[in-house]
Amino acid sequence: MKKIIALSLVCMSLACLAAVPTEEGLLKNLNNAEVQGNLITIKTMIQNTSPSIGSVSESEQPKADYYKLILSFENPNQISFLQIGYSNAQMQNSQIRDVKYIPDFLSAIKKEKTPEKGLFNAALMMLSSNHSQGVEAFLEKSGTKIVRNKDILNEEKMKLLRSYRTYLASNKGKGDSNSPLNPTDLTNKTKVLELFRANTFIRSKNIELVKADNEFMWLVDWKSVKGYFTNEERRLRKFEYTTPESIVKLEAQDYILFNGINEFPKYIHLRDSKNQTTKIQVLSVETKINHDKKLAERFEEAQKSIASTTSASGNSTETNYSFLF
């Protein structure tokens, strides 16, 4: 019985990892399941929601553009990215009007000078693949490095848990007299109890629970960048990038399971440095193991489709959004 109680205490202690958020944990999108596959295709409808000059009425619907955002993990050393713009919701090859191929997605985020482009694509990487490197790169460009879990780990507590795990493996029914969780000395017993009550991670000074938009959220203050995450699920709700010249804001809303396994926000709202607002509605998210053409081959095919479409129509219909490549 004592072993069961002690083991329960260990499990409860480890469960505290979820109760105390860390910077690294929040940016790894831990509420999302592990991605099953090496190709993620996100279909979107994008609309500029800024008030237009000379619009007929306030109820006038903004024009919609359609994009596929594709991330490939076929190369284990880097993520590649394909962005395809379409003129119609059917998203057929004959409707392609714009295509961009990024062989190394992370490097592109690191080099990007436009804040809305860097922030959007960093968030896209995090939300779709659970990779935190994109957001970390964006933060580093802003002069901030995140605090790693290993740097705030309560080593005394982890040492105790490891010793008890070793004890369980070697003891095998020999009694509890030598258990590291049951020391005979009263002073040591008090210390063990204090260690179990302590957090597994030392609380980061730049993380606090705040009330915003009528709900409690975790605010992470990275100086020029602020991140807001939901209290229980730790989902990203908002990034705000602020400089003396401008503000860039990204908001993620209405998380759903698109493929029955992986979650993604149905809506992403973005305000760029020129105060233009955009709504990105996610239509579908597909994850699979790719047995078809590589991303570079798909890019070449898309380019050929653009060439034939432009030749037939006589002009290009490329649409520019400040946050897209």
Q: Are residues 305 and 275 in the same domain?
A: yes
Top mean pLDDT of 172-181, 190-199, 285-294 is at 285-294
Does residue 324 lie in a domain region? no
- Digit-coded pLDDT (tens) for 30-60: 999 999 999 999 999 999 999 765 554 556 6
Does residue 165 lie in a domain region? yes
More confident residue, 316 or 196: 196
- Contact of 69 with 91, CB cutoff 8 Å: no
- Digit-coded pLDDT (tens) for 72-91: 999 989 999 999 999 999 99
pTM: 0.83
Q: Are residues 169 and 43 in the same domain?
A: no
**Predicted local distance difference test score (pLDDT) of residue 313:** 56
Q: Which long-range contacts (CB under 8 A, 24 or more apart) does 243-252 make?
A: 243/115, 245/273, 246/115, 246/273, 246/274, 246/275, 247/271, 247/273, 248/115, 248/116, 248/119, 248/272, 248/273, 250/119, 250/120, 250/123, 252/123, 252/127
**Among all chains, which residue has been given the structure tokens 């994008």?**
46
Instruction: State the chain's mean pLDDT as an integer.
Output: 87
- Digit-coded pLDDT (tens) for 182-236: 787 878 888 888 887 777 888 888 999 999 888 999 999 999 999 999 999 999 9
Q: Are residues 130 and 231 in the same domain?
A: yes
**Predicted local distance difference test score (pLDDT) of residue 210:** 95
DSSP 251: E
Does residue 209 lie in a domain region? no
Does residue 210 lie in a domain region? no
Q: Are residues 54 and 134 in the same domain?
A: yes
Q: Are residues 89 and 190 in the same domain?
A: no
Q: Which of 24-28, 63-67, 309-313 has the lowest mean pLDDT?
A: 309-313
Does residue 25 lie in a domain region? no
**Predicted local distance difference test score (pLDDT) of residue 230:** 97
**Predicted local distance difference test score (pLDDT) of residue 11:** 47
Tally of structural domains, the chain: 2
Domain span holding position 164? 2-20+150-197
Q: Are residues 242 and 306 in the same domain?
A: yes
Q: Which of 3-17, 75-89, 92-106, 200-214 has the lowest mean pLDDT?
A: 3-17
Q: Are residues 186 and 53 in the same domain?
A: no
Kindly state the tokens that stand for 140. 């580093």
Q: Are residues 140 and 155 in the same domain?
A: no
Q: Are residues 135 and 236 in the same domain?
A: yes
